């Protein structure tokens, strides 16, 4: 059996993923389940890592018709990235969070990042847990497979960092085993290079073939993994966080990813994470951005930059220090009309979906719903 070409929930017309993919542009919310969100700035805001705050955001996003919410995973020591904020010291786990969110939502897709090589997980654990959550959420659960780029994270698990491309080789075997377990109608025994199974079986089977598979990457090895396995791929901007440079650089980058998927006879959707600072006028948006920057938590910013510098991610190499204060993979700052104009630019550059972050999540999501979403509909990007 060639598990690389196995089914996707996108092949089932009635799956939650297929429903979401009828949208011209997927719309997601990146949940702030970590303190400080994406912005090491001490300017006052409501953003909060607590479960209750994230439930309210998720329910609001669902009410606004968003397609998905998504949580990041990180393993970090006491004090986080430091500074006055103790930036990101406190995070609730995304897997546990989206499992709980499934019980208080009905329609929205729930994606959790998981470092599948830490521990290490056994594929049987994740096959079972994910099939369970697939049923609890009625097919809305997805795994964002990441391999970990920061050397200190595997050390927390008593491991040393595995070489970059070797991580994707292991992740490929892991994912093939997941697919085997989700598909198999008999017990599975196998001797892989990294994992062994004897008479292993998972029931219930996922409702739509398998849970949604996602990964976040910018490297050739990561693109090959995504091309073989993922439904959605979170890409970063190869040109750094500036929106104009991003729009110019993305067509070639996305074409590389989609070309790779086509080699496997597959289609993948490219998603990117804009940080949105939107106010009724451009001046108000720029003033707010300036206020965020003037409250930079400098020690946290420095430590966050160092964290990326000592890691081996190939996706974030062109991001400048100044962009780490507001954060996000790319930044869109302006009036509702200007924000929509840039989102149209992303769509025209080949992007299939946007996964939003905000500085002050609750009021900013509210404003986005009132002022930007109607314009996205007018522009034909949302049904």
Ligand X SMILES: Cc1cc2nc3c(=O)[nH]c(=O)nc-3n(C[C@H](O)[C@H](O)[C@H](O)COP(=O)(O)O)c2cc1C
Residues that bind ligand X in the complex, under the rule CB under 6 A = 72-74, 113, 146, 148-149, 216-219, 222, 234, 236, 273, 313-316, 329, 355
Cβ at position 7, least distance to ligand X in Å: 25
Cβ nearer to ligand X, comparing 47 with 329? 329
Cβ nearer to ligand X, comparing 74 with 335? 74
Cβ at position 294, least distance to ligand X in Å: 27
Cβ at position 28, least distance to ligand X in Å: 9
Cβ nearer to ligand X, comparing 1 with 96? 96
274: nearest Cα among 209, 204, 323: 323
Q: How far apart are CA 355 and CA 61, in angstroms?
A: 12
For residue 113, report the phi and psi dihedrals to the nearest 5 degrees: -70, 140
Cβ nearer to ligand X, comparing 74 with 161? 74
User: What is the CA angle 335-341-342, rounded to 5?
Assistant: 95
Cβ at position 161, least distance to ligand X in Å: 11
Relative orientation angle of helices 94-102 and 123-136, to the nearest 10 degrees:
30
* CA separation, residue 371 to residues 41, 280, 356 (Å): 25, 8, 15
* C-beta of residue 117 within 8 angstroms of C-beta of residue 148: yes
Cβ nearer to ligand X, comparing 73 with 227? 73
Cβ nearer to ligand X, comparing 163 with 191? 163
Cβ at position 31, least distance to ligand X in Å: 11
Cβ at position 215, least distance to ligand X in Å: 8
Q: How far apart are CA 17 and CA 15, in angstroms?
A: 5
Q: List Cβ neighbours of 163 (8 Å cut-off, separation of 6 or more).
A: none
List, in sequence order, every residue forming a beta bridge with 146; answer none if it has no partner.
115
245: nearest Cα among 169, 328, 129, 346: 346
């Amino acid at each position: 059996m060639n598990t690389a070409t196995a089914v996707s929930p996108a092949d089932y017309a009635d799956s939650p993923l297929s429903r979401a993919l009828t949208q011209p542009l997927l719309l997601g919310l990146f949940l702030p389940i970590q303190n400080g969100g994406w912005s090491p700035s001490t300017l006052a805001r409501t953003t909060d890592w607590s479960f209750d705050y994230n439930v309210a955001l998720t329910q609001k996003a669902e009410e606004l018709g968003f397609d998905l919410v998504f949580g990041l995973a990180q393993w970090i020591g006491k004090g986080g990235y430091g500074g006055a904020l103790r930036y990101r010291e406190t995070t609730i786990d995304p897997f546990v969070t989206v499992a709980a969110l499934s019980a208080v939502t009905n329609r929205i897709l729930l994606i959790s990042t998981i470092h599948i090589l830490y521990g290490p997980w056994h594929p049987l654990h994740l096959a079972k847990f994910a099939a369970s959550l697939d049923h609890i959420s009625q097919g809305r659960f997805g795994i964002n497979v990441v391999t970990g780029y920061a050397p200190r994270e595997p050390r927390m698990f008593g491991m040393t960092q595995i070489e970059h491309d070797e991580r994707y080789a292991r992740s490929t075997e892991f994912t093939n085993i997941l697919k085997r377990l989700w598909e198999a109608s008999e017990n599975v025994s196998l001797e892989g290079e990294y994992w062994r199974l004897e008479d292993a079986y998972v029931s219930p089977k996922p409702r739509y073939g398998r849970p949604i598979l996602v990964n976040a990457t910018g490297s050739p090895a990561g693109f090959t993994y995504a091309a073989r396995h993922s439904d959605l791929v979170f890409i970063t901007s190869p040109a750094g966080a500036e929106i104009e440079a991003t729009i110019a650089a993305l067509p070639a980058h996305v074409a590389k990813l989609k070309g790779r998927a086509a080699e496997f006879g597959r289609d993948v959707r490219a998603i990117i994470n804009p940080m949105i600072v939107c106010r009724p006028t451009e001046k108000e948006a720029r003033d707010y951005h300036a206020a965020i920057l003037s409250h930079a938590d400098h020690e946290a910013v420095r430590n966050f930059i160092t964290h990326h510098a000592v890691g081996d991610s190939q996706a974030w190499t062109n991001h400048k220090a100044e962009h780490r204060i507001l954060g996000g993979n790319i930044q869109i700052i302006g009036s509702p009309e200007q924000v929509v104009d840039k989102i149209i630019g992303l769509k025209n550059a080949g992007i299939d979906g946007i996964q939003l972050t905000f500085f002050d999540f609750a009021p900013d999501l509210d404003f986005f719903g009132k002022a930007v979403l109607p314009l996205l509909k007018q522009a034909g990007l949302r049904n």
